[in-house]
Amino acid sequence: MKHPESRTSFTLHSREYHLPKRPTVVVCIDGFDPEYLQSGIDRGLLSTFTTFLNNGFHATGKSCMPSFTNPNNVSIITGAPPSIHGIAGNFFLDRSTGQETMIRDDSLLRGSTLLAQMSQRGVRVAAVTAKDKLRKILAHGLKGDAVCFSAEKAAECTLTENGIAHVEQWVGRPAPSQYSADLSLYVLDAGVKLLQEHKSDFLYLTLSDYVQHKHGPGSPEADSFMEAIDDRLATLAGMAIVGVTGDHGMSGKSNDAGEPNVLFLEDALNAKFGEHAARVICPITDPFVRHHGALGSFVRVYLRDQTLLEPALAFCRALPETEVALRGQDAAQKYDMPLDREGDIVVISTASTVIGSCRSEHDLSSVRDFPLRSHGGLSEQAVPVILSRAVTDMQAASSRNWNNYDVFDLVLNWAT
């Protein structure tokens, strides 16, 4: 693999990265709780993962906070926490306008990405995502010859916008349903073809957590999904160095009767302190709400009257569903989040519960077909960090505390 520039490394966010000498793939399995990996390996279902663990490298790392899709995918492609890149959720309240906004593009992203840096140095880059909400962030700074598209919008790809056209014919099947396991498998199949046809040398493939929101480790549906991923990873590993991690884990959030354990925090705060005293923003909110009902384990509270800060904070801390309640500035510092995009109060729920805003704003009928599983809190930070090849220094690698956003460091700087 030749690069136009003579330099073989570059620095991004105070970390040095080597340019790839051979094809390199990083896969982000959305909702990749370590239990899915361990369950499949224990029962002999995941031969490729087993090979990676035996012959390569594996650690249980941590996702950044909040443990949601957008902040963690951006952390992975920047190699930095949200305090650096500025993306701290899927959905936020803009204090300057008072508007609640879905993050759909790269306008809030601070700094560059590893994908952009590689593209600008002549590396043939491809980024394929299950959900289109991530695509414009992944495309940030890419040169015109890079490939960047979503499985969700595969039918709409153009050379000008995505660096590739006629994707459905190329992959060999139509774009899958947004709410399907195949949305993720489509991403992996596209990655395989990009390598087989020598269209890209440096790939980021990020999947959907639809299956994990519905089906726990060891269920037939989860087993089938993980085995399908395992099969495709074997093909990828035959052509490239492969790194695998997750953007967050997943926990059960229902009671014994199968009903969601939900704290409607805005309702509770307004009942205590008066109508419109507080607005609760759920950063898990995205266009894909059918599988989680916009219910996660991390919320931001905005107060109409700052004199309510201390009593509201004490109230939140006293609720049985609360694991952590902090002032926004304290939460930003503790969890490496951007201070200027933080709420007045951050509330994180216990492992078995989720937090909503108002009961009227959440459609629970969409999450009653299976017991609710969700994420966002401290209990969903654990994720695997895996390399298909052995590392150059196993002792150093084994003693390091890994984050999911170290995975590109792992594949570029540690692989033998």
Residue 1 lies in a domain: no
4 lies in a domain?
no
Q: How far apart are CA 381 and CA 405, in angstroms?
A: 12
Residue by residue, DSSP assigns 2-16 as: --SSS--EEEETTEE
Round to the nearest angstrom and report the end-to-end CA distance of the chain. Answer: 16
| pLDDT of 150 above 80 | yes
Find residue 327's DSSP bridge partners: 345
Q: Same domain for 363 and 383?
A: no
* Dist. CA 398–CA 393, nearest whole Å: 9
CB-neighbour burial class of residue 276 (10 A; exposed 0-12, middle 13-18, buried 19+)? exposed
Q: Is residue 289 scored above 80 in pLDDT?
A: no
Alpha-carbon distance 368 to 237, whole Å?
38
Same domain, yes or no: 184 and 46? yes
Using an 8 Å Cβ cutoff, are 94 and 108 in contact? no
Residues 278 and 400 in one domain: no
pLDDT of res. 368: 63
Please check whether residues 148 and 180 belong to one and the same domain. Answer: yes
How far is Cα 68 from Cα 70, in angstroms, rounded to an integer?
A: 6
DSSP 248-314: ---EE-B-TTS-B-EEEHHHHHHHHH-TTSEEEE-TT--S--TTTTT-BSEEEEEES-GGGHHHHHH
Whether 244 maps to a domain, the answer reads yes
| CATH number of the domain where residue 369 is located | 3.30.1360.110
Q: Which domain holds residue 382?
A: 9-250+377-414
Q: Is 325 helix (H, G, I), strand (E, B) or coil?
A: strand
Whether 256 is in a domain gets the answer no
At residue 225, the pLDDT reads 98
Largest interatomic CA distance in the chain: 65
Q: Are 367 and 355 members of one domain? A: yes
pLDDT tens-digit series, residues 47-81: 999 999 999 999 999 999 999 999 999 999 999 99
At 101, the pLDDT band (50, 70, 90 cuts) reads confident
What's the whole-number mean pLDDT along residues 202-229?
97
What backbone phi and psi angles, to 5 degrees, belong to 378?
A: -65, -30
Task: Assess whether 370 and 381 both reside in one domain.
Answer: no
Whether residue 283 contacts residue 89, with contact meaning beta carbons closer than 8 Å, is answered with yes
- Is residue 2 included in any domain, yes or no? no
4 has a pLDDT exceeding 80: no
Which runs of consecutive H residues, i.e. helices, occur in 126-240? 135-138, 159-162, 167-171, 182-196, 210-214, 220-237
pLDDT score, position 2: 57
pLDDT in tens, 35-45: 999 999 999 99
Residues 189 and 66 grouped into a single domain: yes
Asked whether residue 370 is assigned to any structural domain, the reply reads yes
Question: Do 295 and 399 have their domain in common?
Answer: no
279 Cβ partners below 8 Å, 6+ apart?
93, 266, 301, 302, 304, 357
* 80 and 168 share one domain: yes
Within a domain: residue 407? yes
Q: Are residues 225 and 357 in the same domain?
A: no
The total of structural domains in the chain comes to 2
- Specify the pLDDT at position 292: 46
One domain, residues 244 and 326: no
* pLDDT single digits (tens) 398-407: 999 999 999 9
Q: Report DSSP letters for 82-123, one per residue.
A: HHHH----SEEEETTTTEEEE--SSTT--S--HHHHHHHTT-
**Cross-strand pairs, 26:** 204, 243
Are the beta carbons of 212 and 30 closer than 8 angstroms?
Answer: yes
Q: Is the model's pLDDT at 137 over the cut of 70?
A: yes
Tokens 């790392």 belong to residue: 61
In a domain, 257, yes or no: no
Of the candidates 398, 388, 391, 383, the one whose C-alpha atom is nearest the C-alpha of residue 413 is 391
Mean pLDDT taken over the chain: 94
Residues 349 and 284 in one domain: yes
How large is the average pLDDT for residues 217-228?
98
291 pLDDT tier (thresholds 50, 70, 90): very low
